[in-house]
Amino acid sequence: MPVRAPIPTTELPMTCGTPVGALCLLAFLASPAPAQQDVMVMRAERLGPNLAAISGFANGNILVLTGPDGTLLVDAQSARRVGLADSVLTSLGAPPVRWVINTHYHSDHTEGNALFRNRGAEIIGQEQLPVQMAKDTTIAAWGDWHRTPADPAAMPTRTFRDTLSLYVNGQRVIITHIPSAHTDGDAIVWLPDANVIHIGDLFEHLAPPFMDWWAGGRLAGMLAGVDWALAHSDSATRIVPGHGPVGTRAELLAYRRMLLGVSRDIATQVKAGATLEEAQASQPANAWQSQLGSQRRMNELVALLYLGLTQYESAEMLERLSPRTAEATLPW
């Protein structure tokens, strides 16, 4: 998600009667605010002999692979927090960082690239990554969220289109592009020998998902990315989300059910001509409160999905899917 996620700071108003939510959204999305508490603490969780995840709930998670070839990172934090992550690397005794793989363009995952690139690291990302990182634009429909162009030193030095494979420190590292998902340049990083997947912001564990509609994000792609991870995992797989605690396959499946269930409910209401307030009043996300958190966060998710399903995504496509039908298509 963005460093300052473009979400409302107050509850949704219940007085706007327009059938299309963007015009209501402008009334209450006055200023972006962090989706989660701004935590300036990071810790390392061991995932294997030479693998760890650096996290702190509001911070983007970093996967660390160390060994004689040097250190490989998946994601690099924001400029504000990369020094903390670097300190954790030092505490782990990690050798110099030689590779950074970005899961997507958002600055809380890419600004830290500059620190490691200036030390000689290769920065790897899907080919849309530099396109999105270079944009200077304001998203009026989502609280005047301003996207600032990235520091040139944070830009990738190597890009790929569909897949890229590395062999580092005795581990296969398989990078796969998931088109039009959280953004248009998402990458899942799979370490099959370690049975670890970094899925980026396709999975925000114990927090609402975020589709960046304005950078090519789409629900269908989010679900496809989650399905890819489910198809390449088992009950022992450790799944590193973009934010939140390291999860399991069962937790990722529960997240998928939540995302599809809430989206399908809102899609049905959109097709019936419901206003944003009517969709909000039905509380379609409340059944998943244990995964999403507060009522405010659930309202934010409904607002985001309503906006997407009225302007960017096909409500009919989601309405045709049931949780049972969708899960039955998975190869397990």
Token reading at 275: 């206003």
**Mean pLDDT in the chain?**
86
Domain coordinates of the chain in residue numbers? 23-260
Q: What share of the chain in percent tops pLDDT 70?
A: 83
pTM given for the model: 0.87
Nearest to 141 by CA among 6, 273, 14, 263: 6
Task: Kindly state the average pLDDT of the residues 282-288.
Answer: 91
Average pLDDT, integer, range 77-85? 94
pLDDT category at 67 given cuts 50, 70, 90 is very high
Question: Which pLDDT value is given to residue 20?
Answer: 34
pLDDT tier at 2, thresholds 50, 70, 90:
low
Architecture of the domain whose range is 23-260? 4-Layer Sandwich (3.60)
pLDDT of residue 111: 96
Strand, coil or helix: 213: helix
pLDDT in tens, 168-225: 999 999 999 999 999 999 999 999 999 999 999 999 999 999 999 999 999 999 999 9
Burial class (CB in 10 A: 0-12, 13-18, 19+), 68: exposed
- Tens digit of each residue's pLDDT (9 = 90 or more) over 291-317: 888 888 899 999 999 999 999 988 777
| pLDDT at position 331 | 44
Distance between CA atoms of residues 75 and 102, nearest Å: 5
Report residue 175 as tokens: 């990078």
> Does the pLDDT value for residue 49 go beyond 70?
yes
* The pair of three-digit structure tokens given for residue 183, joined into one six-digit string: 């953004």
pLDDT band, very low/low/confident/very high, at 151 (cuts 50, 70, 90): very high
pLDDT band at 321 (very low <50, low <70, confident <90, very high): low
Own/partner pairs for 308-311, CB < 8 Å, 24+ apart? Answer: 308/211, 308/213, 308/218, 308/219, 309/219, 309/263, 309/266, 309/267, 309/270, 310/20, 310/21, 310/22, 310/270, 311/20, 311/22, 311/213
Tens digits of residue pLDDT in 106-126: 999 999 999 999 999 999 999
Question: Quick one: average pLDDT of 269-297?
Answer: 91
Pairing of β 122-126 and β 97-101 = parallel
* SS3 assignment, position 238: strand
pLDDT higher than threshold 70 for residue 330: no
d(CA 87, CA 46): 16
Mean pLDDT on 13-41? 38
